[in-house]
Amino acid sequence: MSIRGFFEKHSHHFHGQGRLAPLKPLYEAVENFMLSPLSRTKSAPHVRDPLDVKRYMSMVIIGLLPAALAGWYFFGLRVLAMIAVSYAIGGAIEVAFAVVRKEEINEGFLVTGLLFPMILPPTLPLWMVALGVAFGVLVGKELFGGTGRNLFNPALIGRCFLAIAYPTAMASYLDPVKAWPGRLFQWAGSALSDATTNPTPLSQAKRVIAGGGELTPISDLLWGSVSGSVGETSAILLIVGGVFLLLTRVGNYRTTVSMLGAFAILESILHLADPGRFVGPLWHLLAGGMLLGAFFMATDPVTGPVTGGGKWVYGALIGVSAALIRNLTGYVEGVMFAILLGNIFAPVIDEVFIRRRLAALARQDVIAPERGQPPGQQGNVWFEGKANEEAAQQ
Amino acid sequence: MAANPIACASCGSGLCGGKGRETFYQGTWANNPISIQVLGICSALAVTTTLANSLIMGLALIFVTGMSNLIISLLRATIPRKVRMIAEVAVIATFVILFDQLLKAFYFSMSERLGPYVGLIITNCIVMGRAEAFALTNPPLLSVVDGLANGIGYAFVLAIIGTFRELVGDGKILGFTVLSEGWYVKNQLMILAPGAFIALGFLIAAFNYINARGQKAEAKS
């Protein structure tokens, strides 16, 4: 049943003499959140499913919520404060740009605002959260023209900025409380006031390889009772949210599958080559930010390629880079750098696939032969095509 | 009675043919080598980790562009067209080496800190560009004004970036602690090259904004 169908089916409860009529405002708020608020025609012609930016973003937030709640459970009330700060500061910048540019306020920030605290250490001082989200939104998105035009994932740009600017604070992680009720009602101190530096599973793995201690068990990685960034610890909840995204087709399965697949294959090869130096592929898939990155960040439709084949290449590029950075460099985690690297290559990957497709179409006489030639020889077909369309309209 | 030649940059008459003021304005602001022409970026990014470094580097460039413009302008009728670039480089290199040696003799620690970047002024596009674009076709005094103006334009942009990077990245200005380590957490990005790129980008954006506002005001009046 489609989401729209669900709302249509239950809407009569909230309207007129329905049982839940007093709750109509709540119903409308939820409907607005999930669907386009525009009133629609009751007779033909119908647009069957007006998927817009807002609903797209709402789906990602719903997918992220389980992991975010797990972050609250494991790392305390501070997580909620981090999310609030991220939304407040990032939202303010978004609104300021919308006002100056005289544009509508875009929903695009809803995801960045939640995604950003998810990839930060839970002890990070709140002013750093504010600075990071401000940098991410300003430099990572608005300078490129706002939502839909950014080259890089704004949340990752913000994190990258913080990781380079404040390496000490960005490496202080909190050990999660394992017994119920976790830290649901606790406020954990900030990284600056009390230095609580616990090894994350990945940094622990580097120590184990160097010859000391024990590897984090896979069961802990699944549940999430390990130290790490706020929203990256609970593998099960990330998979639940991620599969939800893939099923609603908000996240494209090609990117996720090829990213996780390429990563797992390379990890397996490394593990088989030298089990003493490289931990197994399943462990690596569940540890660190791999799942969060594969389900929620690499699938970003703005910063990834648009062509289907391009998505396979893009995912594989990220997966391979992440495995290489994790295992063969001084860095403990490589998913952030890998995705940013993928972002850089996304337009080039698209270009290659579009050219191949055009050449194939030209060979089949679907389009004029000269449009299948590389742009250097006949100008950029896309810009020319756009110009022709515009000329035709006028 | 001719006007005092020394005052020509401001009086609009005399040896520079009334172009002194305009040339100075072009070099320092309207056609600023860094913020408008985006030349000499390599050294601007590399040496601006502290204000002191930026100031000395700016001074070096003012000296080199001013002097090389003077000599090349004096020789402009003598230099054969085909070998003009080699001749220009020879003149520029002379002054760069002169400054480098002075720095080594009187301020050795700074010479160490700037490393190869003083020597690299020889290949700095600004110096070469002024010699090619201005000194070869203009009289000596006006060329000196142009060289100094471009050097000053470079120096003041460097000083702004240097101040910002030293303050944000290290909490200091000219080596004096301004932001105490008790409460200020150093932003290490600003010490690294990417931080310089970002700072320069914002500075150019600010200059463009000021210029755009100026043009708007002109269009209105």
Which residue of A100, A123, A129, A166 is the best one to mutate when testing the B interface, meaning the one whose CB has the most B CBs within 10 A? A166
B104's tokens: 């080594």
Q: Is B189 touching A (CB cutoff 8 A)?
A: yes
Chain B residues with beta carbon closer than 8 angstroms to that of A167: 188
Q: B21-37 in b/e burial notation, b at 16+ Cβ within 10 A? A: eebbebbbbeebbbbbe
Contact A165 B188 (CB under 8 A): yes
Catalogue the long-range contacts made by A23-31 (C-beta closer than 8 Å, 24 or more residues apart): A31/A7
Closest by CA position to A148, among listed A64, A52, A84: A52
**Distance between CA atoms of A229 and A297, rounded to whole angstroms?**
15
Q: Closest residue of A to B199, CA-based? A: A139
Q: Is A169 touching B (CB cutoff 8 A)?
A: yes
Contact B192 A164 (CB under 8 A): yes
Chain A residues with beta carbon closer than 8 angstroms to that of B194: 164
Which residue blocks in chain A are alpha helix, DSSP H? 3-10, 24-34, 53-75, 78-101, 109-118, 126-140, 154-165, 201-210, 218-223, 235-247, 253-273, 281-286, 290-292, 308-328, 335-363, 375-378, 381-393
- Apex CA B105: angle with CA B99 and CA B110, to 5°? 75
Contact A166 B185 (CB under 8 A): yes
**Distance between CA atoms of A184 and A182, rounded to whole angstroms?**
6
Q: Is A138 touching B (CB cutoff 8 A)?
A: no
Q: Is A97 touching B (CB cutoff 8 A)?
A: no
Q: What is the reported pLDDT for A392? A: 61
A57's tokens: 């973003």
Q: A248-265 in b/e burial notation, b at 16+ Cβ within 10 A? A: bebbbebbbbbbbebbbe
pLDDT tens sequence across B165-194: 999 999 999 989 888 888 888 899 999 988
Chain A residues with beta carbon closer than 8 angstroms to that of B198: 139
pLDDT tens sequence across B54-113: 999 999 999 999 999 999 999 999 999 999 999 999 999 999 999 999 999 999 999 999
Q: B149-181 in b/e burial notation, b at 16+ Cβ within 10 A? A: bbbbbbbbbbbbbbbbbbbbbbbebeeeeeeee
| ipTM for the assembly | 0.83
Contact B188 A161 (CB under 8 A): no
**Distance between CA atoms of A46 and B8, rounded to whole angstroms?**
76
In DSSP notation, A195-257 reads ---PPPHHHHHHHHHHT-S-PPPHHHHHHT-S-SSTTTS-HHHHHHHHHHHHHTTSS-HHHHH
A126's tokens: 């709140």
Q: What is the reported pLDDT for A187? A: 79
Q: Is B192 touching A (CB cutoff 8 A)?
A: yes
Rg (CA), chain B: 19
Of A139, A164, A192, the CB nearest to B185: A192
| pLDDT tens, N- to C-terminus, chain A (394 residues) | 577 777 777 777 877 777 777 666 667 656 766 666 555 555 555 555 556 677 788 889 999 999 999 999 999 899 999 999 999 999 899 888 888 887 777 677 888 999 999 999 998 999 999 999 999 999 999 998 887 889 999 999 999 999 999 988 888 888 887 777 778 877 777 765 555 667 888 988 888 888 878 888 899 899 888 989 999 999 999 999 999 999 988 888 999 999 999 999 999 999 999 988 899 999 999 998 999 999 999 998 889 999 999 999 999 999 999 999 999 988 888 999 999 999 999 999 999 999 888 888 888 888 777 776 655 554 455 555 555 565 666 5
Q: What is the 3-state secondary structure (H, E, C) of B18-37?
A: CCHHHHHHHHHHHCCCCCCC
Q: Closest residue of A to B198, CA-based? A: A139
Contact criterion met (CB below 8 Å) for B124 and B40: yes
pTM of the model: 0.82
Of A128, A161, A169, the CB nearest to B189: A161
**Distance between CA atoms of A190 and A192, rounded to whole angstroms?**
5
**Distance between CA atoms of B216 and B221, rounded to whole angstroms?**
9
A237's tokens: 């909840």
Q: Closest residue of B to A169, CA-based? A: B185
Question: What phi and psi, each to the nearest 5 degrees, are found at residue A181?
Answer: -95, 40
Contact B194 A164 (CB under 8 A): yes
Q: Could you say which residues from 181 to 240 on chain A have a Cβ atom under 8 Å away from some Cβ of chain B? A: 192
B147's tokens: 């060289």
